[in-house]
Structure 1
């Protein structure tokens, strides 16, 4: 069970990274070219939203079933354990909140340029947080 969850969690991150890049590029092009916020923009944002929340659920399950997560004072002194116990979770949760806010708040906006701008800013910050956090793991981006 643990191995399957871990592989699912690892594979889903690539979909999220690809969708984030697509959403960022679409919103930047929409903002610069003053294009309307189309159904395709909405759908790609929705798929990103769904993938990130699925990733969150998988991550939460992994957090509690992982044999590597140790809830002790000694865990905070070990950098690798501290990363997986606290830093990874906190940073990814912040990124998911930003992606969620981008989608939910842009849906309520009436002006298309404001929607593109909100999606661009929030998702770009989320992507930066995700890439830095993956890099801090010491395993590299891939």
Structure 2
């Protein structure tokens, strides 16, 4: 079950990133070109936040059953000094929680704005901040700090 969940979490990462980038492009376009905020824009905002929340649930579930996280939690004083264990036991989960919280706040604030420009601006700013946080904490295959495959087989 762990390997299947890990592969699913890895695959869902690409859905989160693509929906977030699409929402950001849409938001900047609407904000800077003073476009009307349509039902489609609202749907993109909502779907992006929903995909991020699905990834959050998968991540929490994975954290609960992860042997790396288990080792980190039960051997904290030693594990905190091991780069890979600390990354998955503390850094990755913390930054991703912050990133998804930023998406949630941005989505909720954009939904409550009264003008189209304010909605787009709010989405653009909050979603961009979330994207930067998320990108900084993904274990990319090219990362010199912590490296994992970009795609995991099921």
Question: TM-score, normalised to structure 2's length?
Answer: 0.87
User: Structure 1 residue 132: deviation in Å?
Assistant: 1.2
Aligned residues: 142
| In structure 1, distance between residues paired with 2:24 and 2:127 | 6
The worse-fitting range, judged by mean Cα deviation, of 17-26 and 65-74 is: 65-74
For the 8 Å contact 1:131–1:141, the answer to whether it is kept is no
User: Structure 1 residue 138: deviation in Å?
Assistant: 2.5
Q: Who is 2:20 aligned against?
A: 20
Question: Which of 79, 91, 97 in structure 2 is aligned with 1:87?
Answer: 91
SS at match of 1:110: coil
Q: Who is 1:104 aligned against?
A: 108
RMSD: 1.5
Q: Who is 1:11 aligned against?
A: 11
CA displacement 1:73-109 (0-9 Å, x = unmatched): 2111111100001100111011101100111111111
Question: TM-score, normalised to structure 1's length?
Answer: 0.94
SS at match of 1:68: helix
CA displacement 1:15-58 (0-9 Å, x = unmatched): 01001110000000001110111111111111111111111111
Q: Who is 2:118 aligned against?
A: 114
User: Structure 1 residue 139: deviation in Å?
Assistant: 2.2
User: Structure 1 residue 66: deviation in Å?
Assistant: 0.9
Change in 2 beyond 3 A, CA 1:141/1:16: farther
Q: What are the residue-to-residue correspondences of 1:25-64 with 2, within 5 Å?
A: 25-64=25-64
| In structure 2, distance between residues paired with 1:140 and 1:24 | 26
| In structure 1, distance between residues paired with 2:12 and 2:26 | 21
Q: Who is 1:66 aligned against?
A: 66
| In structure 1, distance between residues paired with 2:13 and 2:128 | 16
Which segments of 5 or more consecutive residues in structure 2 lack a partner in the other structure? none
Which segments of 5 or more consecutive residues in structure 1 lack a partner in the other structure? none
